[in-house]
Amino acid sequence: MSKVKVGIIGGTGLDDPQLLLSKSEIDVDTPYGKPSSLLTVGELNGVPVVLISRHGKNHSIAPSQINYRANIWALKEIGCTHILATNACGSLKENYKIGDLIILDQFIDRTFKRESTFYSGLPNDLPGVQHIPMGEPFCEYTRNVLIEATKSCGFDMHERGNIVIIEGPRFSTRAESKMFQLWGGDLVGMTTVPEVCLAKEVGISYSSIAMVTDYDAWRDGDHVTVEQVAKVLHENAEKAKNVLLTAITLIGKKNWDEVIEKNKLCSRMAVM
């Protein structure tokens, strides 16, 4: 059975390194520069785990300034076969309620300022041009593990969610928020893209657990504030942590040989 290693990319308020047993911190560099934080390396129920804080340890890195390529490269280099990401997000629908957890399955990309591929054609990048399929952006097998883990923890959850990714750092206008609803978005966030795309480019099984912190700006007379987001994250951070702990244990019990092979093939076949 092939070995697994799980990378965790912790989002705002959901990046607690206490998650890991027997931890140490390592400082790594990549051809793309430094990742957002030191890598916290440890083990959970026999499964090796590596954690990165997406916005840096003190939430000092804005969504457009995150070095997504360095983060994914660092996790790839250290041998991660899986990435579990956590994301705070706004809700675009009444039935996605504050504190709900969502195992994302689709995104709509509205970002425009980010390095979004390892295959840019520049001399120091990976060779060739890669057109990575994005019909199912998230790893279905790892998504199923997160669904099982969230259900077994007993939290209110959604097995699917389509997230609109905005450039930020500002929140959306009411007009934008209503437009995202018309597009079929369920949620709105700032960091899933290009993270999920880069992971797929290098053949890592990536899945995300998102948490609703607010109703964005579509409700008349109401709009998201940082204060509200922070309050909800503070009150609910334990939920995401419990799901991650359960999911990592489940990942350690499964045989991922076929999935790992499939990911490698998908990445290789996408290069022209």
16 labeled part of a ligand binding site? no
214 labeled part of a ligand binding site? yes
**217-256 binders of ligand ADE (CB under 6 A):** 224, 229
Task: Name the one range near ligand ADE by CB under 6 A: 99-107, 125-133, 147-155, 211-219.
Answer: 211-219
**Residue 222 catalytic?**
no
> DSSP characters for 122-180?
STTS-SS-B----SS-S-HHHHHHHHHHHHHHT--EES--EEEEE--SSPPPHHHHHHH
Query: Exposed, middle or buried, 128 (CB in 10 Å: 0-12/13-18/19+)?
Result: exposed
**Residue 16 catalytic?**
no
List 102, 146, 188, 237, residue binding ligand ADE (CB under 6 A): 188
The answer to whether residues 86 and 211 touch, using CB atoms and an 8 Å cutoff, is: yes
Name beta bridge partners: 254: none
Active-site residue, selected from the candidate residues 214, 220, 222, 257? 214
Name beta bridge partners: 187: 91, 163
Provide, rounded to whole angstroms, the least separation between the CB of residue 16 and ligand ADE: 18
- CB within 8 A of 127, min separation 6: which ones? 119, 271
Provide, rounded to whole angstroms, the least separation between the CB of residue 142 and ligand ADE: 22
Active-site residue, selected from the candidate residues 100, 105, 186, 216? 216
Closest CA to 108 of 83, 82, 86, 137: 137
- DSSP H stretches of helix in the chain: 68-77, 140-153, 174-182, 192-201, 226-253, 257-269
Would you say 219 or 254 has its CB closer to ligand ADE?
219
**88-117 binders of ligand ADE (CB under 6 A):** 88-90
**141-170 binders of ligand ADE (CB under 6 A):** 166
Q: Is 213 in the site for ligand ADE (CB under 6 A)?
A: yes
Q: Which residue numbers belong to the known binding site for substrate?
A: 190, 214-216
Residues that bind ligand ADE (CB under 6 A): 88-90, 166, 171, 188-190, 213-214, 216, 224, 229
Q: Which residue numbers belong to the known binding site for phosphate?
A: 12, 54-55, 191
Residues that are catalytic: 214, 216
